[in-house]
A and B are shown apart, each in its own frame.
Chain A
Amino acid sequence: MTDNKGKRNGGLGRREFLATGAAVLGLGVTGFPAVLRAQPASVKVGLIHPVSGFIAFSGTQCREGAQMAIADINAAGGIKSLGGAKLEAMLGDSQGKPEVGASEVSKMVEGGVHGIVAGYSSAISLATSQEAAKSMTPHIVDVGVSDQIVDRGLKNTFRFAPGYGTIAKFAVDNLAGINQMSDDKAKTAMIIHEESLFGTGTANLLQKKLPEIGIEVLDVIKHANPTRDFTNIVLQIKSKKPDLIIPANYYNEYVLLARTMRQQQVKAKGIYSVLGGAASNYKFVNEFPEAAQGIMDCNHWFNPKSEVALQRKAAAEAKGLVYTYEVFLAYNAVLALADGFERAGSTEHDAVNAALAASTLDMSYMPYGPTRMINGQNVGARPVNTQVLDGKIEVIFPQQFASAKPVFPMNS
């Protein structure tokens, strides 16, 4: 009688159930120690981007790229020197405001973050890296191009992509090269830039350097963010008839400027962007192929001859992403941080900072030279020149990465 107590429909009795449960529990604790105990703690990576606000598109692209990198690293076995520890994303939204970005950093630091990747815009990156410096939390700037970011001597701040000093020099040198190769040389230029740190800084550098290669700057026009009507600016361009138009602005403004120039039938020998928000962007090229045709850009880009880079591009596109520079720069920043953990074999801030400062990460999927860190900046990082030709974004400089030859003047 008692044996059958508690049994229902031939199921487990209460005693059997308790005995089996205890056995399973015992086996769990003693029988699978490798599974239960050796699972290393996850490595927390803070991702702070402006996923809301006026630069939300770019911020969201950054977040997507960074999360792709985390997924890929985890799928490949995590951080091996830490026993295969998995990366765990901590997400933060800076809302496009430096102070919100800084407060996200302090939240993450308190939440035990081991490293931070931030913050798309230069102004936000300045604030987030400075806040992270107070606890020496390793901080990698993914996109922000201002050279002030790495000039402050912060020992926790690193950038693996080029800054605008390098980009502006590269842009001017290559423009000189393109001009030399042409029979119909450009002699004058107008710079149209957005008013914040990135646009103004880039424009200032170009204004100094262009006369050195024999190009006179006729005018520099600054516009606010956002600007939704470029008619007056384009009419000014039309009246001054520059050979070259050099835009440096964010995506929306770039698209509107390019479309207005097309509508107003501005004739120039070339549109040569420096960090043009849309010129090296598949979304712009696909949606407005006529406005994009022939535009040259000096910008961040991947190595089109690298299988790894092309696979990553295909994977991003399979997810429905437009493969913009935000995606691959944020991806690279996470890779660099993970490499820092790997080399350090630790998540201790000082050890990871030291590993990042001495990083020699193989970045052959980018058109860079060997990685060499000086004051937190990868001096091997370089931009490329691209040109939109027949609906495709082709690399035209440097030669070893080129997929097409430059067409200049653009309508020739």
Chain B
Amino acid sequence: MRTLIILAAVFAALGLVPFFVVSDVWLNIAIMVLYSALLGQAWNMLGGYGGQFSFGHAAFFGTGAYTVAVLQVQYGINPWIGLFAGGLAAVVVAAIIGYSTFRYGLKGSYFALVTLAFAEVLRILSNSVPITGAGVGLLIPLQVAPSNLQFADKGSYYWLVWAMALCAFAAACWIGNSRFGAQLMAVRDNEDAARALGVRAYSVKLRAIMLSGFFSGLGGVFYAQYFLYLDPHIAYGASVSIESLLVPIIGGIGTLFGPLLGAVVLHAISEVSRDLIGDVPGISLVLYGALLVVMVLFLPRGLAGLLIRRKAAPQNRKKQEAEHA
């Protein structure tokens, strides 16, 4: 209950951002932070809570993005319908990947590689079939109107991604406190032991990947509507998969607020490094990479791990003192 109250308070505060931030640049950064947090939380549901490390979340992201774009451009279907269709199409892809991997007991690096391969297959497919525009990609016509899920101001885009992120974080909160979540974490910690206790590991993992796919697909829908252009590299390229897993790894894997912390810190590092030495090509990326290495080396449990350690430290001291006495 306490976590839920904190989550509600954090998102209530985040929801007020457009009222206080008038700068489009800062609002754009805030949008990209929430967008990254959404992708990160989607990955976290499967990788963090479920222990199934995916290297191919672009498969879900790209499917969501292409669904809303194809429905609009090729069939004239309203993007509000496409929004839900995108999420559901990503769920279907997640179910197919989940079925073909978990059914046959793939885990660890094998699972990671197979998800990567699925994303790559989808990239090649989208690069070849006419419905996705093949290599030319799809350009969603610029028709600014809320009914077209296109907004004139960044504030509206902010609330769209805020609502998506809120749903994702609420779902993650539910995972952390539900019977399903307990089963998922039991599978993560020791699958054989979980099975022995009657947990249906296959079914639990399948549901987790479908939930994860849904939110990743929503991230894709948001990207498509925000930037209005997609090509196979953008939709199914490795950079989306990397961003999806980097955010929770930096923030704290398997924690509720880890992806949000990770997204804030990653974007802050990126912006600061670009502003400090932006005119020297590539140097900002070098600094960004170096800082990431330092963070991973010294904070292996992510930023959330640091907070948990600090919180736990006084308790540990008391425990040690009691033991000495």
Residues of A within 8 A of B232 (CB): 195
Mark A216-232 against chain B: 1 for CB-CB distance below 8 A, else 0.
Answer: 00000010010000000
Mark B216-246 against chain A: 1 for CB-CB distance below 8 A, else 0.
Answer: 0000000100011101111000010000000
- Selecting from A71-79, A106-114, A322-330, A334-342, the interface stretch reads A106-114
Residues of A within 8 A of B25 (CB): 103, 106-107, 110
- Selecting from A94-102, A177-185, A382-390, the interface stretch reads A94-102
The CA-CA distance from A222 to B28 in the complex, in Å, is: 35
Which residue of chain A is the closest to B274 with respect to CB atoms? A93
Which residue of chain B is the closest to A59 with respect to CB atoms? B281
Mark B6-39 against chain A: 1 for CB-CB distance below 8 A, else 0.
Answer: 0000000000000000011100110010000000
- Selecting from B81-89, B93-101, B134-142, B206-214, the interface stretch reads B134-142
Interface size class, chain B: 20 to 34
Within 8 A of A (CB), among B110-161: 127-128, 134-137, 139, 141-142, 152, 154
User: Taking the complex as formed, is B199 at the interface, i.e. its CB lies under 8 A from any CB of chain A?
Assistant: no
Q: Contacts A106-B24, A152-B142, A200-B134: A123 and B234 contacting too (C-beta < 8 A)?
A: yes
User: Taking the complex as formed, is A191 at the interface, i.e. its CB lies under 8 A from any CB of chain B?
Assistant: no
User: Taking the complex as formed, is B108 at the interface, i.e. its CB lies under 8 A from any CB of chain A?
Assistant: no
Residues of A within 8 A of B142 (CB): 130, 133, 152, 154
CB distance from A156 to the nearest CB of B (A): 12
User: Taking the complex as formed, is A134 at the interface, i.e. its CB lies under 8 A from any CB of chain B?
Assistant: yes
User: Taking the complex as formed, is A402 at the interface, i.e. its CB lies under 8 A from any CB of chain B?
Assistant: no
CB distance from B174 to the nearest CB of A (A): 30
User: Taking the complex as formed, is B282 at the interface, i.e. its CB lies under 8 A from any CB of chain A?
Assistant: yes
CB distance from B239 to the nearest CB of A (A): 8
The CA-CA distance from A127 to B230 in the complex, in Å, is: 10
Within 8 A of B (CB), among A152-209: 152, 154, 195-197, 199-201, 204
Please tell me if the beta carbons of B23 and A197 are within 8 angstroms of each other in the complex: no
User: Taking the complex as formed, is B285 at the interface, i.e. its CB lies under 8 A from any CB of chain A?
Assistant: yes
Residues of A within 8 A of B23 (CB): 110
Interface size of A by CB at 8 A reads 37
CB distance from B122 to the nearest CB of A (A): 14
Which residue of chain B is the closest to A63 with respect to CB atoms? B281
Within 8 A of A (CB), among B253-295: 274, 278-279, 281-282, 284-285
CB distance from B130 to the nearest CB of A (A): 10
Within 8 A of B (CB), among A26-52: 51-52
Residues of B within 8 A of A92 (CB): 278
Which of A109, A133, A200 lies in contact with B24, CB distance below 8 A?
A109
Residues of B within 8 A of A130 (CB): 142, 227-229
Please tell me if the beta carbons of A200 and B136 are within 8 angstroms of each other in the complex: yes
User: Taking the complex as formed, is A266 at the interface, i.e. its CB lies under 8 A from any CB of chain B?
Assistant: no
Please tell me if the beta carbons of A127 and B32 are within 8 angstroms of each other in the complex: no
User: Taking the complex as formed, is A91 at the interface, i.e. its CB lies under 8 A from any CB of chain B?
Assistant: yes
Residues of B within 8 A of A204 (CB): 136
The CA-CA distance from A123 to B233 in the complex, in Å, is: 11
Please tell me if the beta carbons of A106 and B28 are within 8 angstroms of each other in the complex: yes
The CA-CA distance from A148 to B134 in the complex, in Å, is: 15
Which residue of chain A is the closest to B229 with respect to CB atoms? A126
User: Taking the complex as formed, is A60 at the interface, i.e. its CB lies under 8 A from any CB of chain B?
Assistant: yes
The CA-CA distance from A97 to B154 in the complex, in Å, is: 20
The CA-CA distance from A377 to B198 in the complex, in Å, is: 68
Within 8 A of B (CB), among A52-90: 52, 56, 59-60
Please tell me if the beta carbons of B285 and A195 are within 8 angstroms of each other in the complex: no
Which of B24, B127, B229 lies in contact with A195, CB distance below 8 A?
B127
Which residue of chain B is the closest to A222 with respect to CB atoms? B135
The CA-CA distance from A130 to B141 in the complex, in Å, is: 11
CB distance from A194 to the nearest CB of B (A): 8
Please tell me if the beta carbons of B135 and A103 are within 8 angstroms of each other in the complex: no
Which of A51, A95, A98, A109 lies in contact with B227, CB distance below 8 A?
A98
Which of A93, A126, A222 lies in contact with B139, CB distance below 8 A?
A126
CB distance from A90 to the nearest CB of B (A): 10
Please tell me if the beta carbons of B32 and A197 are within 8 angstroms of each other in the complex: no
CB distance from A127 to the nearest CB of B (A): 6
Residues of B within 8 A of A110 (CB): 23-25
B interface residues, Cβ below 8 angstroms from A: 23-25, 28-29, 32, 127-128, 134-137, 139, 141-142, 152, 154, 223, 227-229, 231-234, 239, 274, 278-279, 281-282, 284-285
Q: Please list 28 pairs of residues, one from A and one from B, whose beta carbons are closer than 8 Å in the complex, sorted by A's number.
A: A51-B281, A51-B282, A52-B281, A52-B284, A52-B285, A93-B274, A93-B278, A93-B281, A95-B285, A98-B227, A103-B25, A103-B28, A103-B29, A106-B24, A107-B25, A110-B23, A123-B137, A123-B229, A123-B231, A126-B139, A130-B142, A130-B227, A134-B152, A148-B139, A152-B139, A154-B142, A199-B135, A200-B135
A interface residues, Cβ below 8 angstroms from B: 51-52, 56, 59-60, 91-93, 95, 97-99, 102-103, 106-107, 109-110, 123, 126-127, 130, 133-134, 146, 148, 152, 154, 195-197, 199-201, 204, 222, 225
What are the 4 closest A-B residue pairs judged by CB atoms, nearest first? A200-B135, A51-B281, A52-B282, A195-B135
